Amino acid sequence: MRVPSGAGADRWLGLLPAVLWLLIFFLLPLGLVFLMSFAERGLYGGVRWTFGLENYHRAIDPFYLPVYGRSLLLATVTTVLCLLISYPIAYYIALRADPKWKRALLILSILPFWTSFLLRTYAWMFLLRTEGFINTLLLMLGVIERPISWLLYSDVAVVIGQVYGELPFMILPLYVALERVDVRLIEAAMDLGANRVQVFWRVLLPLTQPGIVTAVVLVFIPSLGAFLAPDLLGGAKSAVLGTVIQNQFVQRNQPMGAALSVLLILIVLGLLRVALRLAHTTERR
Amino acid sequence: MAIETKVIRVEGVTKRYGAITALDAVSLDVERGEFLTLLGPSGSGKTTLLRVIAGLERPDAGRVYLSGEDVTDLPPYRRRVHTVFQQYVLFPHLTVYKNIAFGLEQKRLPRHEIERRVAAALELVRLPGYERRWPHELSGGEQQRVALARALVLEPEALLLDEPLAALDLQLRKEMQRELKRLQREVGISFLLVTHDQEEALALSDRIAVIAGGRLQQIGTPREVYENPETAFVATFLGSANVFEVEVVGRENGEALLGLCGQTVRVSLNGRSLEGSRAQVAVRPEKIALRARPLRSSDLVQLEGIIEEGVYLGDATHWRVRVGDQCITVTEPNRLGSKAETFRDGQRVFLCWARESIIVLTQ
C-alpha cells in the first residue's frame, strides 16, 4: 500500500507545478527586466546587454519628477475615492442588507468586473465624449448650454475610469472585514451611549482597520502603475509612470522602460512595508 | 407632581417579526431598587422585551417609560439604562480600562474623573488592577465582571441583564449569582434580569415575571408565584406540579367543593373565581407524602395508588405513582428513618396531602 504523505521526493514533486509557475511567469521575467534595466538601447531598437547605471541616472532626472508626482497623486486620489465610495456600500451589504439579498448585492457590485477593463474604458469614453451620453443628457435637460469639454481626455476622466475599475478590489476586502464584525458590538456601543457616528469611529473603524489596509494596498498598487485609463482617458499632458513605461517599450527603449519598472517595484515594496507594519500593529492589539 | 417610583414602565408593548408575535401587549413595572426577573422558556419574548426597553428594538405598539419619561422613540444611546449582554460583548480592540471607560468618554468627562470611576467600578466587581488587560486574556467569569463594570460605571437608572450567567459553568454560575445579588444591594439600582433558569430567578429576585408565548403570565414575589401559580403553565414551568382536571361540585364563601379523583374536597379559592363545571388544580410534588397505610385524618386528601417508578436523586427520591388513569409525581426528601426508600415498583401506597396544598388554577 502507498502511504499518502509519501517520502521526501514525492512531496517535492507535488510542489513542482507551483514552483515552475513562479519560476517561468514571475521570477524569470522579473530577472529579465532587472538585468535589462542595466543594459543599453540597441541602434535599431532591441537591447545591447551591457552593464551601466545610465538608465537609472535618467530615471531620477528632474524631467521625470512630475511623472512620479502625478502617479502618486492619481493613486492616492483613486484610493481615497474608492475607500469613501466602497465603505458605505460594503457596510450596507455586510451589516444592513437583508441576508437573502446579500449575495445578489455582492455579485452586482462586482459584475462590471466580468468584462474586460479595456471595453469598460471604451464605454467611459462613449459616456464622457463631448457629444457623449452625459453631455447630451445635460444639454437636453438644459443644465448646460454648451457641452463640457473637460469630461474626456482630462484628469477627471482618468480618475473616474481608474476609480471605477478598482472599485471591486476595494469593496470585497472591506465587505469581508465588515462581515466579521459582531453586530452585538455595535449594539453594545449604542447601549453605552454612542450614536451612529461615534460607533463608526470608536468601534467599526478600529475593528475593520486590517481590512481597510488590505483594500488600500490592493487598490493603491495597481493604480500607481496604471496605464490603460491614463492612456485612453487622459489628456496629452497626463503622463504617469504606467504610460511612460509603456511608451519606452513601444518606442524601442526597452532598457529605459525596464529601469523605470524596477523603480516602480521598489516604490511599491517600500509602501507595502509601511502598510504591513500598519496592519501588524492593529493585529497585535 | 408626584415623584415617579417606577423606574421602568412598559405599557401594552407588542412586537411582531413577520407572522410571529414576539410580544403581545405586555405591561410591566419595575420599582426603584427592585430586582425583577423575566422568566420564561426560550422564544417566550423575554429577551425581546429587554431589547425594547434598551431601545435596540422598536415596538409595533405600546409605550416604554423610564422614570416617567416616554422613551419609546428615543435611540438606545439616549436612554439611561444599560445592558449586560449574554456573551458579554466586550470590545476586543480595547483594554479592560478602555472598555469600562467607553461610556464615560462618550460623556466627555474629565480624564481624572474617568480614571477614578473606572477604578471604583473595577473595585466594585472585585477586579482591581485589571485595567491594562485585554478581553481575550480574561476568563468567562472575569469578562462577565468587566461587562457588569462597563454598564454600572455609568450609574444607570436600571441595569438590564440578558441571561448574563448562561455561558458560565455551574460552579461559577452559583458564585456569580451571589455576586449579582451583592452588587444590586450595594449599588441600589434596579436590576431587570432575563433568564430561563427558574432556580436563578427564585434565588435572586424580589419579584418574578413569568413570560410565555409573548404574554406576561404572572408577576409576584418568588414565594407568591411558586406557592400560588395562576395557570398550569406557571405551575409547571416554575418548579414542577401535578395538574388535575376536577369537577366543580359546589361553591360558597370563597371556597369550592371539587371532585378530585373520586373524592370531594373543600378548597379555598384564594380570591380566584371559578367558572363552569370543570376546573384545574395543581399540587406540588414535595407537598405530597407517601404512606404504606392510610392515615386517620379527615383534613388530608388521601388517594390510593400503585408505584410505577422511583428515581433516587441523592437529596430526594422522585416517585411516579399511578392513581386511576393519572400519573402523579411525588418528591420525598431522603430523611433518616424515611420509610419511602423501602417502597418497591408495583406496590400499593397512599398519597396524602393537606387541603391547603391544592392550588386552584385559572384557565
pLDDT one-digit tens code per residue, B120-145: 999 999 999 999 999 999 998 899 99
- CA distance linking residue B147 with residue B96, whole number of Å: 9
Q: How far apart are CA B182 and CA A113, in angstroms?
A: 60
B156 and B13 inside one domain = yes
Beginning with the edge strand found earlier in the chain, give each strand of the sheet holding B326-333 in spatial order: B289-291, B348-354, B300-312, B316-323, B326-333
Q: Is residue B321 part of a domain?
A: yes
Cβ distance of A207 and B85 shorter than 8 Å: no
Of chain B, the percentage scoring pLDDT greater than 90 comes to 67
Final residue in a domain of this structure, among B233, B248, B264: B233
Between B56, B85, B106, which is nearest A193 by CB? B106
Tell me whether residue B287 is in a domain.
yes
Give me the CATH number covering residue B275: 2.40.50.100
Q: Could you tell me if B293 lies within 8 Å of chain A, comparing CB atoms?
A: no
- Asked whether residue A197 is domain-assigned, the answer is yes
Of B76, B83, B106, the CB nearest to A198: B106
Answer yes or no: do A190 and B83 touch at CB < 8 A: no
Do A207 and B154 make contact, defined as CB atoms within 8 angstroms? no
Q: What is the 3-state secondary structure (H, E, C) of B266-302?
A: EEECCCCCCCCCEEEEEECHHHCEEECCCCCCCCEEE
Residue B201: phi, psi to the nearest 5?
-60, -45
Identify whether residues B195 and B282 lie together within a single domain. no
pLDDT for A6 beyond 70: no
Query: Is B110 in the same domain as B258?
Result: no
* Mean pLDDT in residue range B63-91: 94
Among candidate residues B233, B254, B279, the one where a domain is terminated? B233
Does one domain contain both B52 and B193? yes
B350 close to A (CB below 8 A): no
Domain membership flag for residue A24: no
Q: Is the pLDDT of residue B272 over 50?
A: yes
Tell me, yes or no, whether A23 lies in a domain: no
The pLDDT, as a whole number, for residue A284 is 45
Decide which of A84 and A5 is more confident.
Answer: A84
Do B134 and B184 belong together in one domain? Answer: yes
Residue A248 within a domain: yes
Find chain A residues with C-beta within 8 A of B106's C-beta: 192-194, 198
* Bridge pairing between strands B190-195 and B215-220: unpaired
Residues B71 and B209 placed together within one structural domain of the fold: yes
- Does B151 contact A at CB distance below 8 Å? yes
pLDDT band at B170 (very low <50, low <70, confident <90, very high): confident
The residue range of the domain holding B33 is: 6-233
> Do B274 and B144 share a structural domain?
no
pLDDT of residue A282: 55
Give the single-character DSSP code of B241. -
Which chain B residues are closer than 8 Å to A282 by Cβ? 93
- A237: domain range? 54-284
Tens-digit pLDDT profile for residues A140-198: 888 888 888 888 888 888 999 999 999 999 999 999 999 999 999 999 999 999 999 99
> Rounded distance, CA B180 to CA A100, Å?
40
A187 inside domain: yes
pLDDT for res A151: 80
Q: Are B154 and A192 in contact (CB under 8 A)?
A: yes
Coil, strand, or helix at residue B245?
strand
Burial of A202 (0-12, 13-18, 19+ CB in 10 A): buried
Confidence of residue B238 (pLDDT cuts 50, 70, 90): very high
Q: Is the pLDDT of residue B321 over 50?
A: yes
- In total, the C-beta contacts within 8 angstroms joining chain A to chain B are 57
Q: Give yes or no: residues B40 and B58 share one domain.
A: yes
More confident residue, B35 or A51: B35
Write the ipTM. Answer: 0.85
Do B225 and B265 have their domain in common? Answer: no
Q: Do B91 and A193 touch (CB under 8 A)?
A: no
Tell whether B150 is within 8 A of chain A (Cβ).
yes
| pLDDT tens-digit series, residues A211-253 | 999 999 999 999 998 888 888 888 777 788 888 888 888 887 8
Q: Do B91 and A198 touch (CB under 8 A)?
A: no
pLDDT for position A281: 65
How would you list the strands of the sheet with B61-66, edge to edge? B20-31, B6-17, B61-66, B69-70
In-domain check, residue A114? yes
What does the pLDDT read at residue A113?
Answer: 81
Q: Is residue A213 part of a domain?
A: yes
| Closest-CA residue to A212 (of A279, A162, A125) | A279
Which of B76, B85, B93 is nearest residue A184 as measured by Cβ atoms? B85
Are B42 and B86 part of one and the same domain?
yes
What pLDDT does A285 receive? Answer: 44
Three-point CA angle B113, B115, B118, nearest 5° = 105
Task: State residue B202's pLDDT score.
Answer: 94
Residue A17 lies in a domain: no
Give me the DSSP letters along chain A: ---TT--HHHHHHHHHHHHHHHIIIIIHHHHHHHHHTTSEE-BTBSEE----SHHHHHHTSGGGHHHHHHHHHHHHHHHHHHHHHHHHHHHIIIIIS-HHHHHHHHHHHHGGGGS-HHHHHHHHHHHHSTTSHHHHHHHHHTS-SS--GGGSSSHHHHHHHHHHHHHHHHHHHHHHHHHTS-HHHHHHHHHTT--HHHHIIIIIHHHHHHHHHHHHHHHHHHHHT--HHHHHHS-TT---HHHHHHHHHHTT-HHHHHHHHHHHHHHHHHHHHHHHHHHHHHHH-
> Which helix (H) or strand (E) covers residue B19, if one does?
none
Predicted pLDDT of residue A150: 80
How far is the C-alpha of A256 from the C-alpha of A59, rounded, in Å?
A: 8
What is residue B260's predicted lDDT score, i.e. its pLDDT? 85
pLDDT above 50 (res A109): yes
Question: B residues 155-194 near A, CB within 8 Å?
Answer: none
Name the residue among B144, B243, B241, B238 with its Cα closest to residue B196. Answer: B238
Residue with cell 413570560: B211
Residue A46 confidence (pLDDT)? 77
Q: What is the CATH number of the domain that holds A206?
A: 1.10.3720.10
User: Could you give the number of structural domains in chain A?
Assistant: 1
Q: Could you tell me the pLDDT band of residue A133, with boundaries at 50, 70 and 90?
A: confident
Tell me, what CATH number does B18's domain have?
3.40.50.300
Sign of the four-CA dihedral B278, B280, B285, B286:
negative
Q: pTM (2 decimals)?
A: 0.82
C-alpha cell at B335: 430523611
Please determine, for residue B2, whether its predicted confidence score (pLDDT) is greater than 70: no
Q: Is B1 within a domain?
A: no
CB distance B93–A194 less than 8 Å? Answer: no
DSSP B3: P
Kindly determine whether residue B93 and residue A192, on different chains, have CB atoms separated by under 8 Å: no
- Give the confidence band of B1 by pLDDT, cuts at 50, 70, 90: very low
Distances from the Cα of B31 to the Cα of B188, B232, B323, angstroms: 11, 27, 45
Q: Which residue of chain B comes nearest to A282, CA vs CA?
A: B93
Total residue length of chain B: 363
**pLDDT of B146 over the 90 cut:** yes
Let me know whether B209 and B246 are in one domain: no
Into how many domains does chain B fold?
A: 2
Co-location of B190 and B253 in the same domain: no
